[in-house]
Chains A and B, each alone.
Chain A
Amino acid sequence: MNYSWDWLIFLQPSITGEGAYGYLLLRGLLWTLAISSLSWVLAVAIAAAVGIARTLDFVVLRFLAATYVNIFRNIPLLVQLFLWYFVVPELLPTAWGTAIKRMDPLLNQYFTVVVGLTLYTAAKASEHIRSGIESVSAGQKQAGRSLGLTTAQSYRYVILPQAMRIVIPPMTSDFLNVFKNSSVALTIGLLELAGATYQLSEFSAQPFEFFAAATLIYMMITYTVILLMRAVERCTRIAGSLGAAS
């Protein structure tokens, strides 16, 4: 390969005069972290609610939850983001649409990505929560009922404490995916880590250095998440049980 390597490129000032290349790349990293962490917190809350709703006896609630999951899980994230950014503002009443389009562009892009990523991630994660709840044996639910617990009480004290422990490993991969999926933000022009990598590769004409750096940074993020989730798993483990007590 006929490529001139320059690993010190990160220290050099950008040709646009906006700071060193390394600094601009880290700015992208901050966007990635800001998008992913907010989306994940919101997604977990929604996923828990939807996952529980899908196991309840209310038909209407179950139907609504299933509809949501099927729509948001089956449409590619890229398409969803495009719809949120370009189509939804046009469908709203003109005044609202204009207000959205005229807010600070960067914040607008940020919130659009957070909405899109949250709803997509929550739809996927809620399936894990649902299957976690379903994996707790039906006898437990019945036992709770025969003890006179209400549905809310049997979820709170019997089912969820077991189900939530079971879903930690699959939720770990959802957590990882949030970071990786946050790169779709670049398609609507928000330069998070992947977007900044593309942009700076072009500006500096040193693409391989920037992609190598981005790869390492993504690996560091995901490895940190894995360690974190392992710690959570360890701390919440019930002595003598593998996952749920059955």
Chain B
Amino acid sequence: MYRIITKLLLAAALGGFAGTAHAEESPTLEKIRAKNEITVGIREGSLPFNYLDDNNEQDGYSWQITLRIVDAVKEKLGLPDLAVKRLMVSPATRIQLVANQTLDLECSSTTNNTERQKQVSYGNTFYIVGPRLLVDKGSTIRNWTDLKDKSVVVNAGTTAEKLLRTMNSEKDWGANILLAKEASQGFMMVETGRADAAMMDDTGLFGLVARSKEPQRWEVTGDFLRKEAYGCMLRKDDAGFKEIVDETIAGMMLSGEMEELQKKYFQQPIAVKGGITLGVPLSDEMKALYKQPTDAAYD
């Protein structure tokens, strides 16, 4: 038994070295050409980035970006009949699936940070968010320092959890941290009174409010603590493919197409639950990003 495990681990480790040893110009593009197929990540309910709508169609701001990148790949490789394979991912699986090369591209709502860059690479940032708090309108919680002795629910393993834990130990917030497996469960914990607030990326919170039974009962509050950059994930050390991703996104931003997408998905009704509107205006940070596309992470 022990010998088998050692062998497996060795094989895995060697595989890692071998991969870097003969990295070609673009392993992703080569794989796509060889299989005449590209595998992209989809999400079930990451509003309004990548989700299944009421008609069971994939849609969203990041999904449109995915489609544009696929078009660019088709053109670059001269493969008009390229098959597009969709793979449903979750926050817990997406990074591993890109790292082990099951997925060629994942554009949904994934934060670009330095830890993750050890395993995957990110294209140009396409959205900027920041963690904030969702509370009942009657709540005494107005900002982060009001969290003392309050229960705050956060999605396990997210960058928001990381930030909350760090602040709790460094700034002595004294918040009682509750974990949820996914956003809708975290919301349910606030709705049923188990938690006093939910902490998440602001756009995610607006999505939860818009989808809830009584949207007027909830409020998103708290200062913008830190910026997080959402980017498309692709495999590491693949300059050729990254160039296509970056150029496509930069092109969409400079041509004004990205701003149209932001309007369409964040300010107008989307086909979920019979039509909901998130009502998120274009922030100053986003306007600046559209003028100067970048792939830099904020931490």
Contacts and interface: CB of A to CB of B under 8 A. Distances in A.
Given A2-B236, A105-B176, A198 B169 contact: no
A4 B92 contact: no
Interface in A11-69: 15-18
Nearest to A101: B194
Contact of B119 (A3, A189, A191): A3
B65 interface: no
B9 interface: yes
Contacts of B19: 1-3
Contact of B181 (A15, A16, A189, A205): A189
Contacts of B117: 205
**8 closest A-B pairs by CB:** A202-B157, A189-B179, A16-B165, A205-B115, A2-B19, A199-B157, A101-B194, A17-B169
A90 interface: yes
Given A2-B236, A18-B165, A199-B161, A207 B16 contact: no
B192 interface: yes
Contact of A198 (B100, B156, B237): B156
A203 B5 CA distance: 25
Interface in B159-204: 161-162, 165-166, 169-170, 176, 178-181, 185, 188, 192-194
B169 A205 contact: no
B225 interface: no
Contacts of A1: 12, 15-16, 19, 99-101
A75 interface: no
Interface string A176-206: 0000000000111111000100110111111
A20 to B, nearest CB: 14
Given A18-B165, A187-B181, A203 B157 contact: yes
B109 to A, nearest CB: 14
B192 A204 contact: no
Interface string A86-102: 10011000000010011
Contacts of B161: 199
Interface residues of A, number: 36
A208 interface: yes
Q: In the complex, which of the residues B118, B157, B165 has the most CB atoms of chain A within 10 Å of its own CB atom? A: B157
Contact of A86 (B23, B178, B192): B192
B16 A5 contact: yes
A208 B95 contact: no
Contacts of B27: 2
Interface in B241-274: none
B237 to A, nearest CB: 6
A5 B99 CA distance: 11
Interface residues of B, number: 46
Contacts of A3: 12, 15-16, 19, 99-100, 119
27 contacts: A1-B16, A1-B99, A2-B19, A2-B23, A2-B99, A2-B235, A5-B13, A15-B162, A15-B166, A16-B166, A101-B193, A102-B193, A186-B181, A187-B181, A195-B179, A198-B92, A198-B156, A201-B96, A202-B92, A203-B162, A205-B116, A205-B119, A206-B119, A207-B96, A207-B99, A212-B9, A216-B5
B118 A86 contact: no
Interface in B101-149: 101, 115-119
B66 interface: no
A6 B99 CA distance: 14
A208 B157 CA distance: 15
A185 B189 CA distance: 16
A188 to B, nearest CB: 8
B193 A98 contact: yes
Contacts of B212: none
Contact of B115 (A15, A90, A189, A216): A15
A206 B100 CA distance: 12
A205 B19 CA distance: 18
A17 B99 contact: no
Interface string B88-101: 00011001100111
A110 B99 CA distance: 34
Contacts of B192: 86, 89-90, 101
Q: In the complex, which of the residues B99, B179, B237 has the most CB atoms of chain A within 10 Å of its own CB atom? A: B179
B101 A207 contact: no
B157 A201 contact: yes
A185 to B, nearest CB: 10
Nearest to B195: A105
Contacts of B100: 1, 3
B164 to A, nearest CB: 9
A202 B188 CA distance: 23
A4 B236 CA distance: 10
Contacts of B157: 198-199, 201-203
A105 B13 contact: no
